[in-house]
Amino acid sequence: MTLITQTSELQAFCDRMSQTDVIAVDTEFMRERTYWPKLCLVQVAGGDEAAAIDPLAPGMDLAPLFDLLRAPHILKAFHAARQDLEIFHRLMRGVLPKPVFDTQVAAMVCGFGDQVSYETLVGKLAKARIDKSSRFTDWSLRPLSVRQIEYAIADVVHLLPVYRKLETRLRSSGRGEWLAEEMADLTDPANYVTDLMQVFRRVRSRSGNGRMLAVLRELAAWRERDAQARDIPRAWLLRDEALLEIAHHTPKTTDELARTRGMARKFAESATGAELLEAVARGLAVPEAEYPETDMRREMPRGVGAVADLLKVVLKMKSEDADVAQRLLASSEEVELIAAEGEAANVPALHGWRRQVFGEAAIKVRSGELAMIVEGRKLVLMPTVKGKRTGFEEAAPDAVNPAQP
């Protein structure tokens, strides 16, 4: 068990890790009381060595670790990496660790199901068990106990054999390029930059009123900026319910704002209340042509529901045939878009390896180039002669029940 608390120790450890070709990385963080995740521990394993790095230790400089994470010749293995990468993106000033291997995504590509847990992978691939006792600990408290440190380091120790087994499966199945596509998306820095003009979409609103959404967009952007600046959870500043009520009623004075349910008059009369009213005014000033588009699900054209249901069967069939997680191929919403729009649907399922596995078949079933039949106990897709019908024909109404003389 190694806990690194000094920069000189970290530098020496990272120098040794730089001689390996793959390292396992994990983090422990807290964000219940902050906007930005508070990094409390970083665990790294490579070769025959593993350590926990304490970023909260007095005088600790993480620069050697960041250099290691940036090293192009070292693969960094994570499990469910998105939150870890979000933390490093901020601390490394917009740069992300590369190259990256996410064992959760790799497991989905290898047929382990949707969002398989780390515990499941460790049990199946590393033949080990995870100690859950420290899972919900407060990692910001010091000193850390021996049990906490052992628990944290065990995660990355087990991660290395999980990575190796998955990497072997990917290589033998020829699916390395599939994962490469997913990792390219995962390590795109644009995914970790908050678009303030889009955060309003996280606020669940059933309204399709463009004027209300324009006000909500300004309110949500104001809240996000302020929460970032104060480093507090956005709900501590103003809850979603209050944002929605203000967006609906568009108060223009302090008195009107104070009538918002759950808002104290003192808050309405504060500088923050004045900023809220300014955000409302900005939203009201948005020209109608610039109103945000609603996120409300469009009603599918008449008859398309049955087509979507058929394509969902194709999705399930292709998922089973390829032994890849169904959720990784396409979401239910994506399938419905393909059913409604065909090739015009702008969805990941019609691009890259997903198109190869599912998207192409979905398009051909929709266009009538493929038909679904049952062979034995299995559904299969068969080519059709487009434009010609065989078997069941749609009869004219009078042919179904011919009139009796």
pLDDT (tens digit, 9 = 90+) per residue, 249-258?
999 999 999 9
Compute, in degrees rounded to 10, the torsion defined by CA atoms 120, 124, 128, 134.
Answer: -10
At residue 132, the pLDDT reads 73
Mean pLDDT rounded to a whole number for the chain: 91
As a whole number of angstroms, the distance between CA 353 and CA 358 comes to 9
Q: Which helix (H) or strand (E) holds 337?
A: helix 332-341
201-241: pLDDT as tens digits: 999 887 789 999 999 999 999 999 999 999 999 999 999 99
> How far is the C-alpha of 217 from the C-alpha of 173, rounded, in Å?
46
Mean of pLDDT values over 82-107:
97
Q: What are phi and psi of 113, to 5 degrees?
A: 95, 180
115: pLDDT confidence band, cut at 50, 70 and 90? confident
* pLDDT at residue 24, as a whole number: 98
Find out whether 104 and 79 touch, Cβ atoms under 8 Å: yes
User: In the numeric block, which tokens belong to residue 365?
Assistant: 């079933």
Indicate whether 395 pLDDT > 80.
Answer: no
The rounded percent of the chain whose pLDDT value lies above 90 is 84
Q: Which residues lie across from 373 on neighbouring strands?
A: 380
Which pLDDT band, with edges at 50, 70 and 90, does 299 fall under?
low
Q: What is the mean pLDDT of residues 138-143?
A: 95
Q: Which domains does the chain have, with CATH numbers?
A: 3-192 (3.30.420.10), 199-290 (1.10.150.80), 304-383 (1.10.150)
Q: Which two tokens stand for residue 241?
A: 């319910």
pLDDT (0 to 100) of residue 396: 40
Give 295's pLDDT tier (boundaries 50, 70, 90): low
Contact 20, 68 (CB under 8 A): no
Q: How far apart are CA 57 and CA 236, in angstroms?
A: 28
Q: Cβ(213)–Cβ(292) under 8 Å?
A: yes
In the prediction, which pLDDT does 403 show? 40
Per residue in 34-78, pLDDT (tens digit) is 999 999 999 999 999 999 999 999 999 999 999 999 999 999 999
How many angstroms separate the CA atoms of 154 and 276, rounded? 48
> For residue 402, what is the DSSP state?
P
Better-scored residue on pLDDT, 298 or 340: 340
Q: What is the mean pLDDT of residues 20-30?
A: 97
Q: Residue 266: helix, strand or coil by DSSP?
A: helix
Per-residue burial over 28-53, b if 16 or more Cβ lie within 10 Å, else e, is bbeeeebbebbbbbbbbbbeeebbbb
Q: Which helix (H) or strand (E) holds 281?
A: helix 271-284
Number of neighbouring beta carbons within 10 Å of residue 16 = 12
The pTM is what?
0.87
Cβ–Cβ contacts within 10 Å for residue 154, how many? Answer: 21
Q: How far apart are CA 354 and CA 178, in angstroms?
A: 8
341 C-beta neighbours (distance < 10 Å), count: 15
Query: What confidence score (pLDDT) does residue 297 get?
Result: 54
- Give pLDDT tens digits for 325-382: 999 999 999 999 999 999 999 999 999 999 999 999 999 999 999 999 998 888 899 9
Structure confidence at residue 402 as a pLDDT band (50, 70, 90):
very low
* For residues 138-162, average pLDDT: 95
